[in-house]
Structure 1
């Protein structure tokens, strides 16, 4: 049996602004696509690595929100990532918080008004 999640999409209002934000914060490089009439910026997928990937998605059906589903993005240094979030126009919603033996989490608001979470393991 496979893990439940296979792909995600983060709704955006301004794809260029969102790409700039996520590139500045995480260093992501994007591949632009048009899928089902919607503009997409595909996040990287690293072959042979654990986890899934997704896209920034702009279109009529994509509405950014701080409510609803929450995606967790990996960070090797949550505090450094949160500093980049703040310096690129985002807001910290939940500072770095321990989650027992699993590691740490945090939450931020991105350039589009989405609530996004971060995860850092204990390594």
Structure 2
């Protein structure tokens, strides 16, 4: 059975600090993703499509502050 969570985004204010934290704690390097918007910075967590788990990224976007509503989870569903 496939994981129902297919993508997640963790919004951050200080990308360098957040990236350093997650890379240190998870002992994995994040990979910069190309952004369609100049004010959007994305760093993806490593993901093996042949393994269980969900892909996701740290996101820094002008006007979006981290806090109680700053994590998005995307589910795989019919609609």
**Superposition TM-score, scaled by structure 2 size:** 0.71
Residues of 2 paired with 1:4 and 1:10: CA distance? 18
User: Which is greater in Rg?
Assistant: 1
User: What stretches of structure 2 of length at least 5 have no aligned partner?
Assistant: 73-79
Query: Residues 44 and 33 from structure 1, CA distance in 2 versus in 1: closer, same or farther, beyond 3 angstroms?
Result: same
**Secondary structure at the counterpart of residue 19 of structure 2:** helix
User: What stretches of structure 1 of length at least 5 have no aligned partner?
Assistant: 72-123
Residues of 1 paired with 2:12 and 2:52: CA distance? 26
**Larger relative contact order (C-alpha < 8 A, sep ≥ 6)?**
2
User: What is the aligned-residue RMSD (CA, Å)?
Assistant: 2.4
Instruction: Kindly report structure 1 stretches of 4+ aligned residues shifted beyond 6 Å.
Output: none
In the alignment, which residue of structure 1 is the partner of 2:50? 48
